[in-house]
Structure 1
Amino acid sequence: MKTVKRSIGTLALAATMILTISCKDANQKEATAAMDNEAQQETTKNSGDIAMNDSQESSSEVILKDYFNLKDALVNDDQAKAKDLGMTLTTSLKSFDVSNYSESEQTELKDIIEDATEHAEHIAKSEIKHQREHFKTLSKDMTDMVAITGTEVKLYEQFCPMYDGGTAWLSTKEEVRNPYYGSQMLKCGKVQREIN
């Protein structure tokens, strides 16, 4: 299973490098980044489907995958897709099984999941400005969850000093793509720390 995921990741990385090198000006690079983002989302979706079919993916990894898809929808200013993904994330959060954790971790995780579910539900019903407001707290919940559950992939905690007095979010890529401003200030922010 890991070999399949690595092969898909390697192919996606090779395609990204070829496309990036062939671009000559900034506009082409931005268009490539958008295409790469869509390709990454499709790869993530397909990898998730494969893993889910083999029952290899833990429920916390499913939640993270749904969170990253939601983040990408906000980066792309796609309110309708963010609504759908908010509902998808709500479903994954509600099916999260805390039984494999210690009693104190279970208590913490239940609180985190309850709060995250509330914000995901709001995202599923709101216009984009309000979606981004709820994404701020949802991102904190995801960071808190990862602190307990861990993760199989390297994550980057990124930070935007401009949004609401300073706001963080998680990403699987080091390159900053701001979900709080989308195309308005796509690259506003910095990597605060690496997780895992």
Structure 2
Amino acid sequence: MKKVSVTTAIMVMTFVSLSAMSCKDSKKEHSVDAMHSEMNHDEVMNHDNLNTPNDVVDNNVQTSDAKQVMADYMTLKEALVATNKEDAAKAGKKLESSLKSFDVSKYTAEQQKELKDIIADAIEHAEHIGKSEMDHQREHFKTLSKDIIDMVAITGTENTLYQQFCPMYDGGSAWLSMSKDIKNPYYGSKMMSCGKVQKEIN
């Protein structure tokens, strides 16, 4: 009888001991899982933070706003090449509208500040182009082009652009084109091929 109760006692103790160990392992696994889950969460959080305005933005991915501004700028340039005041005015107004709706929030804090300054200046020149005579349109286009070149340095471009330069107009004036061929927006047909490619922007 005594033997049976000793055996029973040993079995009970073994069972309790095994249960305790099993419970510990389970807790350990749970804490490892929790830690792993937390690490994953942190990784996700850090990944999300890459998209915040205070981090570096990939300039190779041009935003749709930047694409629209560039498309409107090119339409304006073509109108000036053709010496078409009405088309240039329309393009100037369209560009003004695109600039006003440009969302800078996707860029870093420093880039946002620069873009806001560039856009404010560009809007003013686009507005003047929308209501001026051809000579004044071309004057404003010179400064507007500088603004757009500065903007592209921040936003990047998906298409190859050519920064072109006319040494004759107003002490030298630059503009952007999607073609290597020189079509001068400052003189139109008077001096269509006056200028050179200064640099290629990719």
TM above 0.5, yes or no, is yes
Unaligned runs of 5+ in 1: 1-55
What is the SS of the residue equivalent to 1:72?
Answer: helix
The structure with the largest alpha-carbon Rg is 2
Deviations 1:132-176 (A, max 9, x none): 000000000000000000011000000000000001000000000
CA contact (8 A) 2:79 2:87 kept: yes
Which segments of 5 or more consecutive residues in structure 2 lack a partner in the other structure?
A: 1-61
The answer to whether structure 1 residue 139 and structure 2 residue 123 are counterparts is: no
RMSD between aligned alpha carbons?
1.0
DSSP-derived class of the 2:71 partner: helix
Contact 2:63 2:155 in 1 (8 A): no
2:108 pairs with one of 95, 102, 105: 102
Greater relative CO, 1 or 2 (CA 8 Å, sep 6+):
2
Equivalence for 2:168: 162
Aligned residues with identical type, % of pairs:
64
- Provide the C-alpha distance between the structure 2 equivalents of 1:90 and 1:166, rounded to a whole number of angstroms: 25
Residue type at the aligned position of 1:173: S
Q: Which residue of 2 aligns with 1:184?
A: 190
SS in 2 for 1:168: strand
Write the distance in 2 (CA, Å) between the matches of 1:90 and 1:146: 17
TM-score (norm 2): 0.69
Q: CA deviation at 1:57?
A: 6.2
Kindly provide the amino acid, as one letter, of the partner of residue 174 in structure 1.
K
Query: Aligned ranges for residues 1-150 of structure 1 at < 5 Å?
Result: 58-150=64-156
Q: CA separation in 2, counterparts of 1:142 and 1:97?
A: 15
4+ long deviations beyond 6 Å:
none
Whether 2:163 is the aligned partner of 1:193: answer no
